Amino acid sequence: MANGTPRLAIFDFDGTLVDSQHAIQACMESAFSALGLPAPALSQTHRVIGLPLEKCMMLLAPDQSPDVHARLVEGYKSAFFALRTDGGMVEPLFPGALEALDALQAAGWQLGIATGKARRGLDAVLGSHNLHRRFVTLQTADRAPGKPDPTMLHWAMDEVGARPVDTVMIGDTSFDMAMAKAAKVGALGVVWGYHSPDDLRAAGADRLAEGYAELPGLVRELWEKQTCAS
């Protein structure tokens, strides 16, 4: 607690806490192939991870109609459900993630998630890693406007009672950094995800973490800078 108010560290999920790129790409390929369309390359998929599915399909298939975009979304959801049901979903935590969460909690930070995932998908992965108890607020794109709109961060802070000056957003994409800037919270980029360091800096990252071992210290450093400037 800082001056009686909570400190809140909000994590993106895909590409920040879990490495879900191969599962996401497999579902993209299934959705596009079902409609006889060429599937996006993994590098193209990386560029849209974190956005709402509807926006992803618009960007990946810009020449297609809204009806096709809607069918791609449904195809992706069906493929994702089938992959999870069949036990083929592989979404490992990044090395050092659990230790960093432990360190932040030990230092008195409340933890949250703001993700482009739907709540059902987020709950499934949190359950598979026994992570639900870690997070006091879960914000998903099926219940709020997607990134980079700041609504998820506003709702997370409201739920916990945290001020923007006591909040840090941690993510791997330019959408996360832009969302943080729009909400006037700290923007901490991680370089092990799906957007480049240059993309993160251009979107407003205040700091970049090279690995999870340094992340708790950077969160504290960024918070101290914010509170000193306020």
pLDDT digits (tens, 9 = 90+) for 113-167: 999 988 988 998 999 999 999 999 999 999 999 999 999 999 999 999 999 999 9
CA gap 31, 38 in Å, rounded: 10
CATH classification (class only), 21-85: mainly alpha
Q: What is the DSSP letter of 61?
A: S
pLDDT score for 26: 94
Report which of residues 120 and 172 the model is more confident about. Answer: 172
Active site residues: 12, 14
pLDDT score for 120: 87
pLDDT score for 57: 97
The structural domains of the chain, with segments of one domain joined by +, span: 7-19+92-229, 21-85
Fold of 7-19+92-229: Rossmann fold (3.40.50)
What is the enclosing helix (H) or strand (E) of 113? strand 109-115
What is the enclosing helix (H) or strand (E) of 188? strand 186-190
User: What pTM does this model have?
Assistant: 0.91
Q: How many CB atoms lie within 10 A of CB 213?
A: 13
- What is the share, in percent, of the chain residues with pLDDT greater than 70? 99
pLDDT score for 3: 54
